[in-house]
Amino acid sequence: MFSFRKKLKHDIIKWVKCMLENLNEKQIEAVKHKDGPLLILAGAGSGKTKALTTRIAYLIKEYGVNPENILAITFTNKAAKEMKERIEKLIGKTNLLASTFHSFGVRILRENYERLGYKSNFVIMDSDDSLTLVKKILKDLGYDPKRFSPYMIRNKISSNKSEFIMPEEYKNFVHSEEDDIVYKVYKKYQEILYRNNSVDFDDLLILPIKLFKENEDILDYYREKYKYIMVDEYQDTNEAQYILIKMLAAKYRNIACIGDNDQSIYMFRGANYKNILNFEKDYKDAKIIMLEQNYRSTKTILDAANSVIKNNTFRKDKNLWSDKGEGEKISFYKSYDEIDEVFYIIRKIKELISKGTPYKDIAILYRTNAQSRVFEQELLKQNIPFRIVGSFYFYSRKEIKDLLAYLRLILNSDDDISLIRCINTPKRGIGPKTISEIEANASNYNTSMYKAIKDGKALEFKKVIEELKEDLKSCTLTEFIDKVLDKSGMRMVLKEEKSLEADIRLENLEEFKSVTKNFEERVGIISLEEFLTEISLVSDIEEYKDDPNRITLMTVHSVKGLEYPYVFLAGLEEGIFPHRNCYTPDELEEERRLMYVAITRAMKKLWITSAKKRMIYGQESPSVLSRFVREIDPDLIEKINKEEKEQVKKEKRVYKEDRVFNYGDKVNHEIYGDGVVIEVTNTILTVAFNKDVGIKKILKNHKSIRRV
């Protein structure tokens, strides 16, 4: 027996030594901390997940803590699964609870539904169900959903719940007609949820808090059950999550939170970075451990990140360092425009590939989804495999497909597929029943659905299309897109929604005007038919689904938690990064944290680019260099020399001088040959070419056309 115990003790000592041997001093300090509040401030790439999972394993193996008394909380199911897998690699199978906040909330509600007045079979509504309910309530209350956006109201309800503001409390914040509508809908919304034995996603956090506040015995049960609580990504917690954790940890105070205040980038989702900054106020005896050694990046990259983030006021000071060597300087390229920017980046990518770098080691980052378009188009043309993470390809996005459906229907009113897609987009009260009736009439008379429309709201839609057909005759493609967005109602609906998702969709639609503008400048032809032909070739993107070796394109928000040996960060201009919707000091600091996240994704080499001018929403505008570039220590930056710039320089695509044409002038076009001017407007020439070419509308100042 003695020898068995001796062997067991020896095995445990060996296991503990093995567990700790790949950790640095600060990580070991965090792992060995047993009782009392602990805050681990873990910089980017500092091995925080390793420290957290090892600590949990250490509590179980070395300190003998029952796994059932440990609660590990994170934000995604993927992260929770990964956390448990890493722990079980260290100690074997365990009944430890590793969960998301919302999954934990569901568990509490399932175990205590009766105390809240619910039945065991309560239903969790998804976001679509929630929106449908808001629309119904608006209708029942007699409000016009076109005037008061259901999306906006749903988002405000969610925001209030995240901040633990219930309808009776929200009543105190009513200062406008819009606020009053939100209050009435919110109040009715909660009543209906309860009556229907339903909860929404936000309730999964709100109701457990309510349960705990009203039932001390239940709260005490969970406090006894979960004596050790660990929270990952603590900087991303909202008010409700903060309250829930604080209530659970109040008795034993064995709470360990890990995160990085410099990587708090989800304020738009309700995250409150102050939760991590206030940890020491909440727990005055808290132990604070900083993980500052970075295992990902070179010293140059980290010094750049540090020099930017130190300009933020509301943060805990730390300084990332690395033993991976100095590394290459950050390359900065100031391009002529966004096309020049893309050409430069692709040229550098080709250099990397020629030296044996796999495509998967390369990432292109940008601030907004709309910026992906120019990269998609050029990478496709040059047959370079890529993938987009966290979003759809530009031409696959719903709002772009909706707009293209309008354009195709305007060009060809017999296109039933396009009509079905856009006739009720945005919502205009034309439901499946009406569409089925139109289809039946079209079939009976052997005609298109468009021609079969005779009355009702569908006829109003038809009148809009006819108006747009007339508009097409007298304006450029870019001007025409504006008219489609306005007359269809697409722009107005998205503006009124007042949500982040709506803003992104609107940005993409406005970016489409840059597509038409580039087409006009390059081709000179004002032809919707030719434009749509070209778009169909570009939009049919081969997604290289079977090839994992692809360049990654993504927004900076999507890249958090990831790393790449080679990173290109594009569009570093004021109004883009930092974003133009950044108004307050808090919002600016969040943008700077986003820049910090972007820089620290790079392992070996970082390129940053900006443009002197940029096509934004179809308008060419001069650009101002982002303040974030100016905040990087100049000694860390290598500016691209003139010789290299010359290698990526391209021809000017448009003649800027105004040229005079008159009715009857003979002209020559580079592609279509000789013709005669038959109509002149401020910007457009209508030219009659030979019968094989026909009549074409051409930009008056385009390089392709000249008088003869």
Q: Which of 486, 56, 47 is nearest to 254 (CA)?
A: 56
Distances (CA, A) of 586 to 189, 237, 268, 270, 372: 32, 16, 11, 13, 27
551-555 and 386-388: which strand pairing? parallel
Return the number of other C-beta atoms located less than 10 Å from residue 539's C-beta: 18
Catalytic pick from 190, 235, 237, 263?
263
Distance CA 512, CA 314 (A): 38
The verdict on whether omega for the bond into residue 548 sits within 30 degrees of 0, i.e. cis, is: no
Using DSSP, state whether 393 is helix, strand or coil: coil
Residue 177: both structure tokens together = 């007609």
| Of 203, 232, 402, 507, catalytic | 232
φ/ψ of 286, rounded to 5, equals: -65, 145
Q: Which of 34, 49, 239, 534 is catalytic?
A: 49
CB-count exposure of residue 670 (10 Å: 0-12, 13-18, 19+): exposed
Supply 216's token pair.
């001390």
Which among 48, 318, 373, 627 is annotated as catalytic?
A: 48
Clarify whether 609 is annotated catalytic.
Answer: no
Listed residue (322, 377, 670, 391) closest to 555, CA to CA = 391
Q: At 568, which helix (H) or strand (E)? A: strand 564-569
Handedness of CA 616, 618, 620, 621 (dihedral sign): negative
Q: Is 232 a catalytic residue?
A: yes
Catalytically annotated residue among 408, 517, 601, 604: 601
> What's the burial of 104, exposed, middle or buried (CB within 10 Å: 0-12/13-18/19+)?
buried
Query: Rounded to an integer, what distance in angstroms lies between the CA atom of residue 331 and that of residue 632?
Result: 12
Distances (CA, A) of 82 to 48, 52, 618: 13, 12, 44
Contacts of 199 (CB under 8 A, 6+ apart): 109, 118, 122, 123, 124, 125, 193, 207
Active site residue 382: no
* Six-digit token string for 20: 């700790």
Catalytic member of 202, 233, 399, 510: 233
Half-sphere exposure at residue 274, Cβ-oriented, CA atoms within 13 angstroms: 5
Q: What is d(CA 397, CA 385) in angstroms, rounded to the nearest whole number?
A: 19
Question: Which residues does 646 contact at the CB level (< 8 Å), separation at least 6?
Answer: none
In 10 A of CB 665, how many CB atoms? Answer: 16
Q: 683 an active-site residue? A: no
| CA 551/CA 393 separation, integer angstroms | 14
Give CA–CA dist 90/47, Å, rounded.
16
Whether 529 sits among the annotated catalytic residues: the reply is no
CA distance 108 to 99: 12
Distance from chain centroid for Cα 229? 30
Is residue 48 among the annotated active site residues?
A: yes
Q: Largest Cα–Cα distance of the chain, in whole Å? A: 111
Cis upstream peptide for 578 (omega within 30°):
yes
| Residues forming the active site | 48-49, 232-233, 263, 601
